[in-house]
Amino acid sequence: MPFHNAVSPAELAEAGGDIDYRLARQSVLRAFREGRVGTDEICDAHPELMRVARSSGEPTQRRCEVCADADLVQVRYVFGPRLSKGGRCVTTAAELERIAARKGTFTCYTVEVCPGCGWNHLARSHVLESRA
């Protein structure tokens, strides 16, 4: 599940609204390189996340550190009032801006995904600043 280390909007606001998960990512990759976790434990992207990553993920120019066969892509999900319970996958900057313009607090989660092996990790979460 990609959002296992997600935090609430209140926690995000206290943290200045932006949380970077690079250290957690590095820890998981270190454990993988040292053989403490296997690919079956970390290459576990949900089929829907894989579908979105392949069809509309944003390319990163960074090679997957698990399989080294594919470039990572980023997928963004937004959660907040009047959005579905499972959030909304946002595929363009314009769509993200439209949501940010709405009234309410919205949280955006950016997940990096390898469309080849299924490696996925929460990369960043931030509160969208409402302009309404």
pLDDT digit string (tens) for the chain, length 132 residues:
334 444 454 554 454 578 999 999 999 999 999 999 999 999 999 999 999 999 999 999 999 999 999 999 999 999 999 888 888 999 888 898 899 899 888 999 999 999 999 999 999 999 987 655
- To the nearest 10°, report the CA torsion of 132, 89, 60, 48: 170
pTM higher than 0.85 for the full model? no
Instruction: Compute the distance between CA of residue 96 and CA of residue 73 in angstroms, rounded to an integer.
Output: 17
Q: For Cα atoms 6, 95, 2, give the angle at the middle one, nearest 5 degrees.
A: 25
Contacts for 17 with CB less than 8 Å, ≥ 6 apart: 126, 127, 129
Contacts for 126 with CB less than 8 Å, ≥ 6 apart: 12, 17, 18, 19, 107, 108
